[in-house]
Structure 1
Amino acid sequence: MLSPRHQRRIMTCTVVAAAFGLVSTQAFAGSSGTGPRPWQASHQAAVGRQHIKAVHAGDAASAFAAEGDEDGADEAENSAEATAQFTEARTAPGVVAPGAYGAAWQQLQSMRHTSGDWDHVTRKAYDSDDPRYRDVNSNSSGGSGQVTGRITGIAADDQGYVYAGGANGGVFRSRTGGGHWKPISDRLPSLSTGTLALDGGNRLWYATGESNTGATSFVGTGVYVLKDPRHGQFRPGDRVGGAELESTVIHALRFAGTKVWAATGTGVWSHSTTTLSGPWKHEFAPNPDYLPGGAKADDPSAPYRNIANDIAVDPKDPDKVLLAVGWRGGDAYNGLYARQDDGSWKPASGLGDLPTGSDDVGNMTFAAAADGSRLYAVDQSPAQMATNPDSGLKGVYVSRNGSPFGPWTLVADYTKLKASGSALQDAGYQPGIQSWYNQFLQVDPTDADHVYLGLEEVFETRNGGATWTTPGPYWNFPFPCWSIDPAKRTGDCSPTTHSDQHAVAIGSYRGRSWAYVGNDGGIYRRPLRGAVDSGGHAKDWQSLNDGTIDTLQYYSVGVGKDLTYGGVSVTGGLQDNGQSILRGRDKVMGSDFGGDGGDTITDPANGCNTAEEYVYLAIWVTQNCGVNDGSWTTDPAKATEYEVAPPDSDLGGAGARFIAPIAADAKNPATWVAGGRHVWVNTKGYAIRSGEEWTNAYDLGEGHVATAVASSGGTVYAGWCGPCNNQGFTRGIAVGNADGTGWHQLNLPVDGTVPNRYISGFDVDPADAQHVFVAVNGFSRKWTEGPGAGVGHVFESRNGGADWTDVSANLPDVPADTVKFLPGGGLALGTDLATFYRPAGATQWQVLGHGLPSTAVMQLRTGPDGRLYAATHGRGIWSFDVRRLTGRKG
């Protein structure tokens, strides 16, 4: 979601990239005109400060107009860069072979666990509109209400059972039409959700592998079927077929007769719905040489050469099938393919208004009426995305006879939708600007002319597309009803959904029909034929993110003493959900920073002293937890948060990673280190008020950007990459002093002890700054074909990095994200699969505790309460009492 404090970054709030088994998108996206351009990122950073004032003064239109039309293109450019970076960490410098994740999970099952259980810290409602934090720089009062992480699959029945799948959080079940959720897939090796579907027998199908080619999408381990979804839980033995769909993403499941079709990142597959054993049949892939095992499997573009987005089956003849195939950035193979009588596939054409050519078929979604009388489609055009700065949406179409082969008629384009109550029309870009990432389509099962459409916003037509409304606008800020001061509103701003739509379903509860939508802020519902105001905006959305469903996607965590209420304050940066804050006695979390949340620094002695990164090192600081003082001011000079971004932030991706590293010195909390192209040092701590107060300690070099930083007693370690994608990937470590002296690059040859993979985290021995550990991301050479991939995930140096020793020992071969010294001398390691523990003096690793879901642990931090905190990217923040490991008591 955009933040009023941070210009119009609708695209960057979406993500940072597809992970397991995929390669970087940067080179391939760039070839289709979507690569990042440094001058555009710089332009965005410069105009952001204007946007704060104008929007909160009620003059959103003038603020956006001042930024220029080209800024809509900037959003797409920055998103492409963001999309690349999460993947780069896990794959560069090569291609990861299928089976890497499954092998690591299998090894994990046989490892010993320490005693003790993890506690779920963020199992509380998260109110993005919390009035306590209605600072001029927050998203509060935008209308999203209670939020959680990205929901990418929804299924609902007619008895009040609703199933919601988190992007990397697994499946949750509600028996009350939404709310009071219970996780039901935590025993599976993958919690990444591609889609959910109920079949005619009311079995729940769970396709793993998130299909968004966006920020933090993880591939899965196949499709699972739960025969009794109202009472049961998924188990590994519920998998359909064999390992054919491992290490891929799944966009859609479509049922026809006794067959289920799957649109995946490796083409189209099918399987019997009556016999669930036996392998999946590979029906079609446009470029088979690029599939795993193919002659061109090691090509950097291979993951994008066989993407299937959806499948439409003729309701009158299940042998007539139409495939929508193609990479969102464009490729010669993009298009629609029709099944022939002999079982072969050929490009389709002559379908009426529905595009069929490679330039105009990108991400496409179909939706059929229950009676087969209508078939709808929404299409994102690669050509439009490359040339139109306002929108990538080609259009919405209907086949009024229900046949995939039409004739099709255009019923909406972005200009029609923007005039239907969209909140984007005043923002300098239009509906469909992210249609490569935001899409859903659903037909009312009782009315073939009643359709819900999801892009950045939720749209609705009740007459087959002749007219549209926007029941779920992006946010309320542009509307006359809005004011930062509730007492000064000119009307009642109705609740809306969070932005960026991904999933939809229709179900019933207690005799009433509901529309359920999933987006970057969780899951919401409204009556199927709900009420709207004069602007066509719904008056009846209900957030179902009640705290029992925690799919929050954290990048970071910070913990400090709560001097007001006692206990500790826990905060962290989130994908598209700002910065959450949970204080000592809170029963509901609030949001004290808007937009995306990146890395975090929190004062252990005072949790209200917090520094939070937006993206690209755009750092903000507060010394009162960002609490609103009651004045409801729109004057940024009286805000409770201050922008203190170092100069590299103005260079966008050329100056810093999308989520760039920041850290406080372990011995001097007032000394901070921030990593972009340069290593920046701040010696004023939380009293800093300007980006000009940073000093440049070291230049990592042209094309190099920091990936991890750590400091202890003034000794600073900075890991970097550049180039950071597969083609020419290089990494390094620089060491020096915070005062700018003594800097040098370590000798890390490509085939050296420390692999040529992404440096993801450091921690320095508090007793000896020359003693340091480094965590290395990606899979080892066993699974990665790139040069210098090497082996190992944790390395130790006792002489300031001059020499390194691989201490990975019995760890599973899985990307490592963060490493942390523990009191008593032990070591904790957070990975994409679990958190591990190595006791002081030991060489072997154990799984740390019990109860932590199998999702990515992005950051580990110790708190002043003697607990270890884990920021997971899909299941919130968890804590573990590490004192039990050494027998110490609190």
Structure 2
Amino acid sequence: MKIIIILLVSSLIFGCAKEEYDSAAPTYESLYNSSVTKTNWTHIGPLNVGGRTRSLLIQGDSPSSSHTLYAGGVTGGVFKSTDGGESWKALNDLMPNINVNTLAQDPKNNNVMYAGTGEFYGGFRGAGIFKTEDAGANWKLMDNTSDIWYVHKIIVSPNNSDVIYASTSGKVFGSNSGLKKSVDKGITWTNIHSDDSVDVAVVNKDGTDYVYGYSEWKGLIVSFDGGANFTHKVGSSSFVKYDATTPNYVRGSIAFSKSTPSRGYLLVSNWYGQLYGIWKTSDYGANWTKTISQDNDTTKTDSWLLSDPADVFDHNGNGKNCFGRTIDLNDLRSQGVYDQYIAVDPTDADVVWVGGIELFRSDSAASSGSFNKASIWYGTESNYVHADQHYIAFSPTYGRYMPGYGGTDKRAYFTNDGGVFVSTNSKIGTTSNPCESSSIGVEYKEIVKGYGTTQFYHGVVSKDGKYVIGGLQDQGVTLYHGSPDNWTTIAGGDGAYNAIDPDNSSIMYSSYINISIRRHDITVDNETTGAISNSYGRISSGIDTSTYGKGSFINPFILDPNNSSRMYTANKALWRSDNVKAASTSDVTWTNLGTFDGSNSGFEITIAPSNSKVMYVGVGYSASFYRILNPADGP
């Protein structure tokens, strides 16, 4: 029997508290003051693993060693650190929308901050702009902003704290989207440019706000009169969104120099996430020169600024990458639509940072061929920074001699899919050869203790309650074994679905993207060191992905609740294994039970706990829903 319904699939919830309120649409205030409070829940972590972060504020202009930091987790709300990131505390878990994408502060009053919600490039809807006047203890939704789904950037005018600019996208493209301005501290807002706006920068020129906005797909707009009038400087207002036959000014990031405010840079990616170009201005944006173009010359750094450089850099001039594989110019492994940022060293307008999958730095004003690799996204060396860069911020005292710090301040902070990192020597060695990273002298430190912003795709609790295993966005598979601040990563990459044997909680299952299921044999030394022994192997090799597809990005599998040796998973077909506990993981076999509609993969599978002959499978984006009365017979 096939029933078509709408499926709403949410992240794992480990517990549920009963919540009652008027059936009419509740206000944010009524939800906030409801019975769901912190007293109903215990946070079990992970508090030693960070999550995706696109915003950071730094406070502290005195010669001290510690900063006060505020960070916005894209699904975790606002966190605060008073010791330079050594530890973090959530400011408000019950803020009506915690999908914080951007933060801004009043330059004249650090207690006044603004949080813009909604992460367009990750798919998490926001609910407008929130404001605090007490350093984050309380937040209030700004009137007339609740229908703004995505706030990309907020800037408080350097000339007048009453004036605020915000780049936004609305419910749908063109609906309440645009570059917005408030002249009364966020009470009211006016659209000063109607295109979908994905970035904004403001420079003080003789007491006037020079405003720079980036319109998605259309390029850079500039106003020399506080946003009253705009001119396209890079790109064109005539370009049509989603028309790949026109020049691809899809996403852009803007940065201006603090030491030389007339100098600015623009980073642009195309529809495929590849670098489209970098532009430079030396006259406050009146004129822009393209310094870097995407010419597909993989022997130069220019081609891999927004890619995984080891995959696309031709270090020997033979068309092979760092792994000896032939470079495919149609697949440059680029993510510039999802992750990109550009920033300028506060003391030197020629030093430019670009964040893509990794970090890169030019010491020559972003000239062609001048960018070198400044980090690696794997391993445990001191030059490691988690992949997928989203924001770069410099210490307010950067470049100054600070007796309390022990020398000249060179601190820079970097946010990415792994949370927050800091470097204390950000101006030293980089490398022009991504195949050899040992010469990278820039060192980084992960600062995520207490920064509970991870994103769970899925998770399960062992029957005996001792363990929790969860698949995290870009942070692998992590295991809770008693302490919220000591979760252990047992597999890398994007974590996906998981299971724990109900009869033996030391047998666990995890997965990577698509159909890639592993079995783990876990031993935890809870008596002394707490160390974990993790022996694992892949068990899904017997599934035909060539004929029936790789499955969903986050692909489901489930143990039969009444038979711990039996497992089900799905791509375009439903598969069953009856021996997932075979002596060797390579001996696990699978049976094809048949296809669904022939074109869509299974997105979710559940089995009735009391009767293994009753299964439900959600299939495809069209939300087809299958009720299978005997899985042995197939869909």
TM-score range, shorter chain: 0.7 to 0.9
Equivalent residue number for residue 630 of structure 2: 737
1:218 maps onto 2:218 in alignment: no
Three-state SS of the structure 1 residue aligned to 2:553 is coil
1:152 maps onto 2:54 in alignment: yes
Equivalent residue number for residue 278 of structure 2: 396
2:102 touches 2:116 (CA, 8 Å); kept in 1? yes
Deviation of 1:311 (Å): 4.6
Equivalent residue number for residue 465 of structure 1: 366
Which one-letter code corresponds to 1:521 in the other structure? G
Equivalent residue number for residue 562 of structure 2: 667
Equivalent residue number for residue 164 of structure 2: 260
1:162 maps onto 2:69 in alignment: yes
Deviations 1:418-447 (A, max 9, x none): 689954432657988111111112222222
1:276 maps onto 2:165 in alignment: no
The one of 362, 368, 371 equivalent to 2:256 is: 368
1:507 touches 1:514 (CA, 8 Å); kept in 2? yes
Distance in 1 (CA, whole Å) between partners of 2:388 and 2:304 is 19
1:212 touches 1:437 (CA, 8 Å); kept in 2? no
Q: How does 1:329-478 map to 2 (within 5 A)?
A: 334-339=218-223, 343=228, 345=230, 347-348=232-233, 359-371=247-259, 372-382=261-271, 385=272, 392-401=274-283, 403-411=284-292, 415-417=300-302, 422-424=309-311, 425=313, 426=322, 428=327, 433-466=334-367, 467-476=370-379
Distance in 2 (CA, whole Å) between partners of 1:363 and 1:569 is 42
Deviation of 1:646 (Å): 5.7
The one of 597, 604, 609 equivalent to 2:502 is: 604
2:105 touches 2:156 (CA, 8 Å); kept in 1? no
Distance in 1 (CA, whole Å) between partners of 2:602 and 2:474 is 22
Deviations 1:164-223 (A, max 9, x none): 111100111111111211111324211111111233214353333343423xx3121222
The one of 537, 542, 556 equivalent to 2:458 is: 556
Deviation of 1:575 (Å): 0.7
Distance in 2 (CA, whole Å) between partners of 1:658 and 1:541 is 31
Distance in 2 (CA, whole Å) between partners of 1:246 and 1:122 is 32
1:572 maps onto 2:470 in alignment: yes
Deviation of 1:312 (Å): 5.5
Deviation of 1:320 (Å): 5.1
The one of 700, 704, 708 equivalent to 2:600 is: 704
Deviations 1:613-652 (A, max 9, x none): 212222111223699xxxxxxxxxx973224256364468
Deviation of 1:116 (Å): 6.2
2:463 touches 2:502 (CA, 8 Å); kept in 1? yes
2:252 touches 2:268 (CA, 8 Å); kept in 1? yes
1:706 touches 1:718 (CA, 8 Å); kept in 2? no
Equivalent residue number for residue 391 of structure 2: 503
Give the 3 Å change call, closer, same or farther, for CA 321–393 of structure 1 in structure 2: same
Which one-letter code corresponds to 2:558 in the other structure? A
RMSD: 3.7
Distance in 2 (CA, whole Å) between partners of 1:176 and 1:700 is 55
Give the 3 Å change call, closer, same or farther, for CA 246–593 of structure 1 in structure 2: same
1:457 touches 1:500 (CA, 8 Å); kept in 2? yes
Three-state SS of the structure 1 residue aligned to 2:301 is helix
Three-state SS of the structure 2 residue aligned to 1:153 is strand
Question: Which blocks of at least 5 consecutive residues in structure 2 are unaligned?
Answer: 1-5, 11-22, 62-66, 171-176, 314-321, 398-403, 432-436, 526-533
Equivalent residue number for residue 527 of structure 1: 424
Question: Which blocks of at least 5 consecutive residues in structure 1 are unaligned?
Answer: 1-85, 91-99, 127-147, 287-305, 328-333, 386-390, 477-481, 483-492, 628-637, 745-890
1:663 touches 1:710 (CA, 8 Å); kept in 2? yes
Give the 3 Å change call, closer, same or farther, for CA 252–541 of structure 1 in structure 2: same
TM-score, normalized by length of structure 1? 0.56
Distance in 2 (CA, whole Å) between partners of 1:530 and 1:343 is 39
Which one-letter code corresponds to 1:222 in the other structure? G
Three-state SS of the structure 1 residue aligned to 2:185 is coil
1:694 maps onto 2:590 in alignment: yes
Which one-letter code corresponds to 1:119 in the other structure? T
Three-state SS of the structure 1 residue aligned to 2:411 is strand
Distance in 2 (CA, whole Å) between partners of 1:114 and 1:522 is 26
2:118 touches 2:151 (CA, 8 Å); kept in 1? yes
Distance in 1 (CA, whole Å) between partners of 2:396 and 2:31 is 40
1:626 touches 1:641 (CA, 8 Å); kept in 2? no
Equivalent residue number for residue 614 of structure 1: 512
Give the 3 Å change call, closer, same or farther, for CA 504–543 of structure 1 in structure 2: same
Which one-letter code corresponds to 1:679 in the other structure? L
Distance in 1 (CA, whole Å) between partners of 2:194 and 2:38 is 48
Q: How does 1:768-787 map to 2 (within 5 A)?
A: none
Which one-letter code corresponds to 1:453 in the other structure? V
1:622 touches 1:642 (CA, 8 Å); kept in 2? no
Deviation of 1:499 (Å): 0.4
1:392 touches 1:434 (CA, 8 Å); kept in 2? yes
2:95 touches 2:139 (CA, 8 Å); kept in 1? yes
Greater length-normalized contact order (CA 8 Å, ≥ 6 residues apart): 1
Moved more, 253-262 or 494-503: 253-262
TM-score, normalized by length of structure 2? 0.76
Equivalent residue number for residue 576 of structure 2: 681
Give the 3 Å change call, closer, same or farther, for CA 639–180 of structure 1 in structure 2: closer
Equivalent residue number for residue 316 of structure 2: none
Deviation of 1:593 (Å): 1.2
Provide the identity percentage: 22
Distance in 1 (CA, whole Å) between partners of 2:231 and 2:47 is 52
The one of 179, 188, 207 equivalent to 2:115 is: 207
Deviation of 1:733 (Å): 2.3
1:187 touches 1:234 (CA, 8 Å); kept in 2? no
Moved more, 643-652 or 466-475: 643-652
Give the 3 Å change call, closer, same or farther, for CA 200–431 of structure 1 in structure 2: farther
Distance in 2 (CA, whole Å) between partners of 1:459 and 1:671 is 48
1:589 maps onto 2:493 in alignment: no
Distance in 2 (CA, whole Å) between partners of 1:409 and 1:708 is 47
Give the 3 Å change call, closer, same or farther, for CA 101–706 of structure 1 in structure 2: farther
Give the 3 Å change call, closer, same or farther, for CA 245–336 of structure 1 in structure 2: farther
Which one-letter code corresponds to 1:607 in the other structure? S
Distance in 1 (CA, whole Å) between partners of 2:186 and 2:444 is 42
Distance in 1 (CA, whole Å) between partners of 2:594 and 2:573 is 6
Give the 3 Å change call, closer, same or farther, for CA 449–324 of structure 1 in structure 2: same
1:206 touches 1:223 (CA, 8 Å); kept in 2? yes
1:649 touches 1:655 (CA, 8 Å); kept in 2? yes
Which one-letter code corresponds to 2:443 in the other structure? D
